[in-house]
Amino acid sequence: MAGCITTKHLSASFGDIHAIEDVSVEIMANKVTAIIGPSGCGKSTFLRCLNRMHELVPGARVTGEVSWDGRNIYAPEMDATLVRRGIGMVFQKPNPFPLMSIEDNVSAGLRLAGGRMRKAKVAEIVERSLRLSALWDEVKNKLHKPGGSLSGGQQQRLCIARALAVEPDIILMDEPCSALDPASTQKIEDTMEKLKKDYTIVIVTHNMQQAARVSDMTGFMLSTEMGEPGRMIEFGLTNKIFTMPDRKETENYITGRFG
Amino acid sequence: MNLNLNRDPGEEVRAADPEPETAAATEPSAVEAAPDDALTAPREPEQEPQERGALGRDGELRRHSELHRRSRIIRSDLAHILCALSTLIAMIPLVLILFYVIYQGAGALNLDFITQLPKPVGEPGGGMGNAIVGSLMLMGIAAVIGLPVGVLAGTFLAEFRSPRLSWFVRLLADILSGVPSIIVGVFVYTLLVLTFKQFSALAGGLALGILMLPTVARTTEEMLRMVPDSLREASLALGIPRWRTIISVIIKTAGGGIMTGVMLAIARIAGETAPLLFTALNSRTWPTGIDKPVASLPVQIYQYAISPFDAWHQQAWAGSLVLVLMVLILSVGSKLYFGRKMQRAR
């Protein structure tokens, strides 16, 4: 089920701002890949290029290649909505649909993007997704309550369930825990551990401990100067990056000398 | 705290006397100082032995902040009273109009008035039943024309950001909302009435629909802009197509606000008289179709009010009361109903 993503000489900009330059990495299936780096180094832009969310920003441009299981997602015949259905995304701030119930939030992608589906089938997927995101036990008795009535951590897990319900291959997470307390963070990290059996996960985080805890592979991005585009300085096994990085910049960053 | 008590109170006042002048400038720091004080107060006894100097400064700060506090309270109260007074003044005409209309109109208002046709001069009784139905009909036609066009135009302005075209459309909407309603009436008169040689409810409804267009379009735009971008992204990231995102997520989320705007626009046009004189004209019978002239409350009120007969003046007042009630129910009702929905959306 899980897929892999390969980028080749990926560069992205919006307006006059050149956000990332020449990023070439291989993101492996069934692994958690963490992208770390100081603020403004283009981590989020890189992530948003992987499922064509970047192009929603006015004046956005992408060059280079991103292939998902060998298919270039920026090929003219590729449909952006299909790409996003296969490569889901969880955002920094929990963003459930405020007028929809918990149940409808989870099934939103199925109902609004897919074709018709039997009610029982939808209910089944809703339950499975909520179980996967470890939210089921907390909400099973109030599925019709609005999604906004949950706590921040629960809302984020609801958003993960919502992303899972459309059955993507890959899940991109853009600092999913930065707005959450440690207990909720713990739950989401546990969920990620469980998910990587069936999914490929790419997580952007500015929390190095989190990257070290959850990821198998780590990429370190850095923009050398203000206004310079971010580049992938080093990419490899998490163990290696955190114990004996090849590059001086990586070492400086993970030992807390800057950033 | 103790140091403060030991000081001569007279000195305190004298020392702080020049302060009120600068109160405005230092206000933010005073605001910060107050809660800080409150926080450190319980801990003070422990610190006393080592930090006498710091405590002295602390006491002075407290003295100043107390004075600032008093002047702030006075200024805040003044502003409060001014605002309340202005609100009251603004509400006087509203209340006067309401009470006067009720006072004058309630006497002639009865079941016959809302169910009967007008009677000829001299005959007692009769009502404005046809005008009430006619008004509702005109509002309905106006809504059917103005609502979809207005909502779609607003959606275009908010969601499809092509700067130059949007700027132009927005300018047009603003100009249109400034066009006197009688001009719109004359426009529809030339367009429909002269062409078909027939005054009609359709022409009246079209004129009113054009009048509500800019309001509906701009309200829709504003409400859609209030929907946070994070919801657009959430929806698109699920692979939901753009058109579906706009309809099922964005417009739905903003729906309460849009409907409130639409209802207010309808309430606004319910009282329009001038454009109807050229378009729907008037009629003394029940409406027979949208291609025929139709009576309406504002026009009926206008004609009865300028007549020389006392009985008709009475009826005009009763008609005014019905019109005011209709508008009130529409605007207050929609605010209550959709306002609650809107609250949930946030």
pLDDT at B55: 55
Residues 232-251 of B with CB under 8 A from A: 232-241, 244-245, 248-249
State the nearest Cα–Cα gap between A91 and chain B, in angstroms. Answer: 8
With contacts defined as CB-CB under 8 Å, which chain B residues touch A99? 252-253, 341, 344-345
d(CA A195, CA A206): 21
* B197 & B64 share domain: no
Q: Rounded mean pLDDT of A57-65?
A: 90
* B9 & B150 share domain: no
| Contact between residue A146 and residue A100 where contact means Cβ atoms under 8 Å apart | yes
* B150 & B231 share domain: yes
Q: Is A84 within 8 Å of B238 when comparing Cβ atoms?
A: yes
> Which value does ipTM take for this structure?
0.91
Is A173 a residue whose pLDDT tops 70?
yes
pLDDT greater at residue B335 or residue A232? A232
Alpha-carbon torsion angle A29, A35, A41, A46, nearest 10: 20
Which of the residues A51, A68, A112, A160 would you substitute to probe the B interface, choosing the one with the greatest number of B C-beta atoms within 10 Å?
A112
The pLDDT tens digits for A15-56 are 888 999 999 999 999 999 999 999 888 999 999 999 999 998
| Contact between residue A22 and residue A189 where contact means Cβ atoms under 8 Å apart | no
Q: Is B344 within 8 Å of A162 when comparing Cβ atoms?
A: no
Domain A5-254: state its class: alpha beta
pLDDT category at B22 given cuts 50, 70, 90 is very low
The secondary structure of B276-311 as a DSSP string is HHHTT---SS----TTS----HHHHHHHHHTSS-HH
d(CA B67, CA B60): 11
Q: Taking CA B257 as the corner, what is the angle to CA B251 and CA B259, rounded to the nearest 5 degrees? A: 85
* B178 & B268 share domain: yes
* B156 & B248 share domain: yes
Name which of B234, B239, B341 is nearest A81 (Cβ-Cβ): B239
The pLDDT tens digits for B194-239 are 999 999 999 999 999 999 999 999 999 999 999 999 999 999 999 9
Number of structural domains (chain B) is 2
pLDDT category at B290 given cuts 50, 70, 90 is confident
A99 reaches B (C-beta below 8 A): yes
Q: Which residue of A has its CA nearest to B250?
A: A97
Structural domain for B23, as ranges:
2-87
Q: Rounded mean pLDDT of B92-118?
A: 90
Q: Is A99 within 8 Å of B253 when comparing Cβ atoms?
A: yes
| Residue recorded with tokens 């929990």 | A94
Is B7 a residue whose pLDDT tops 50?
no
* B184 & B38 share domain: no
User: Among candidates A119, A125, A157, A122, which has minimal Cα distance to A138?
Assistant: A157
The reply to whether B277 falls in a domain is: yes
Name which of B241, B252, B345 is nearest A81 (Cβ-Cβ): B241
Residues 105-144 of A with CB under 8 A from B: 108-109, 112-113
Residues 133-152 of B with CB under 8 A from A: none
Three-state helix/strand/coil letters over B26-52: HHHHHHHHHHHHHHHHHHHHHHCCCCH
* B50 & B177 share domain: no
| Contact between residue A166 and residue A114 where contact means Cβ atoms under 8 Å apart | yes
Q: Looking at residue B197, which CATH number applies to its domain?
A: 1.10.3720.10
pLDDT at B38: 44
* B233 & B320 share domain: yes
What mean pLDDT is reported for chain A? 91
pLDDT greater at residue B28 or residue A143? A143
Which pTM value belongs to this model? 0.77
Q: Is A166 within 8 Å of B345 when comparing Cβ atoms?
A: no
The pLDDT tens digits for A176-191 are 998 888 998 999 999 9
The secondary structure of B69-89 as a DSSP string is HHHHHHHHHHHHHHHHHHHHH
pLDDT at B56: 64
d(CA A89, CA B32): 41
* B191 & B288 share domain: yes
